Amino acid sequence: MSSPTVVDVSRGSPADVAGILPGDKILTIGGVVPRDIIEYQLLIDEPHVELEIERSRITFSVTVEKTPGEPLGAEISSALFDRVRTCDNHCEFCFIYQLPKGMRRSLYLKDDDYRLSFLYGNFTTLTRFTEADLERVVTERLSPLFVSIHATNPDLRSELLRNKRGALSLRWLDALLEAHIEIHGQIVLCPTINDGLELDRTLAEIAVRFSSLSSVGVVPLGVSKYSNEARMRAMTKVEANEALDTIERYQELFMATIGRRMVYASDEIYVVAERDFPPLEAYDGFPQHENGIGIFRAFEASFLGDKEYAWGRRAGFFASVDGVPKGAYRPNRTPKGMRKTPPLTSHGTAVLTGSYGKVLLSKLLKESGVDGVRVLEVTNEYFGGNAKVAGLMTGADVARVLEDEPEDHRYILPDVCLNEGRFLDGVLVEELPRQVEVVPTDGASLAKALRRRKPISLRLGENIG
């Protein structure tokens, strides 16, 4: 177990007044060795905090005086101080197995850690969950959690996860729901395997056995050209429509029985099926926005000026926790200074996006009366397969598209494809052949960016179909 290291101290904060410095290692808090930032947060929530510090190999004690609940003011280096609980499943559809060699090491980490589910909204299969984990979740009210269900048929779930424990691990879901822990579920839909009658069976068993789930998202599997699994392929238009028919039938059932839709299909399934998205209100507050469900409707509403939907990344306890490690596990998409607007020119503006985004954004700009903006499709040659979302755009593919574009135009890039200014393939934004303006991936941010450029006509406010 490693000790949390202080990486920054807010000026004038209790930690600053007590003399805590960047580089200090926190060995104990109140005599307790913290396992993770969850426990750390509970321990520093007292008015008198006794810290055992190691600085330059010298150990000493520090007492921090503060009001109850006041932030300590020390940013620490990581979210987990012991080891991340890695995943021992071997799912056929796992995208990590479909990554090419040579990418940065962090991308190959498969976690199945309930703490990261609570902290970041990561999905866990519960195959490594224990009685001790259940006791901690219930005692400390670590809620919400996010659970991968995939199928309720025990044999099929075990087959999908390639793990015998997968057949029985949903018993923990029963226990968590009985303890009134908020749970959001996920079904990764694999054509001819857990769709069709099996999807019907899964949703029927959820209605009977797990009806207190907060939401269930149904998303298609991702397939890259590096996949070695013969059964894994992208769903067809017919399969997407069949899945939507099943989902919408169960939405009606859930509305009639529990007063909410419960199950939602990802935007990608609607695009493949070539069907219109449900209306804004059909997403019930967007409980699985981070999972690609309702992104377009929320983006559209935000773009058209509805401030209620002017948010980007929302999931995760770290939205407000004291001591959030900025560089831990899931770093910021864009470092400070990256969003500077390039000098305005009298020439055109273009927005870079994936293949799905090209279709949807072109329609939105046209129907909302935006003139003078091109949408540049970045086809994903790096991953291939059905990798068509903006979040999987790589620097190599963006560079390929920009290479043939004029130098004196303005190019807008959504930050969803970046991690600290770096693409998945390791390319930095500043290494692109054209200067780009990085903006947050929400409708309001894009609308604001477009307003900065004249003479573009931008008429917002009308609702579009």
Share of the chain above pLDDT 70, in %: 89
CA-based end-to-end distance of the chain: 54
What lies within 8 Å, CB to CB, of 3 at 6+ separation is 25, 26, 27, 33, 54, 81
- State residue 333's pLDDT score: 54
Dihedral-angle region of residue 338 (phi above 0 means left; psi in -120 to 50 means alpha; beta otherwise) = alpha
How buried is 145 (Cβ within 10 angstroms: 0-12 exposed, 13-18 middle, 19+ buried)? buried
**Within a domain: 305:** no
**Within a domain: 175:** yes
Same structural domain, 354 and 431 = yes
Same structural domain, 289 and 357 = no
- pLDDT tens for 62-111 read 999 998 878 899 998 888 888 888 899 999 999 999 999 888 777 888 88
How many domains does the chain fold into?
3
Residue 461 pLDDT > 60: no
Same structural domain, 274 and 174 = yes
CATH number assigned to the domain comprising residue 219: 3.80.30
**Within a domain: 51:** yes
How buried is 350 (Cβ within 10 angstroms: 0-12 exposed, 13-18 middle, 19+ buried)? buried
- pLDDT tens for 265-306 read 999 999 999 999 999 999 999 999 989 999 999 999 999 988
Asked if residues 30 and 49 have their Cβ atoms less than 8 Å apart, the reply is: yes
Rounded distance, CA 243 to CA 245, Å? 5
Rounded distance, CA 442 to CA 337, Å? 19
Same structural domain, 54 and 170 = no
Rounded distance, CA 376 to CA 407, Å? 15
- State residue 131's pLDDT score: 97
SS (HEC) of 335-370: CCCCCCCCCCCCCCEEEEECHHHHHHHHHHHHHCCC
- pLDDT tens for 300-352 read 999 998 888 765 545 554 444 444 454 444 445 555 544 444 444 446 899 99
| Averaged pLDDT, 398-412 | 94
H/E element holding 163? none
CATH number assigned to the domain comprising residue 28: 2.30.42.10
Question: What is the extent of the structural domain holding 357?
Answer: 349-451
Spatial CA neighbour of 154 closest among 139, 142, 166: 166
Same structural domain, 264 and 381 = no
**Within a domain: 385:** yes
- pLDDT tens for 199-227 read 999 999 999 999 999 999 999 999 999 99
The DSSP code for 428 is B
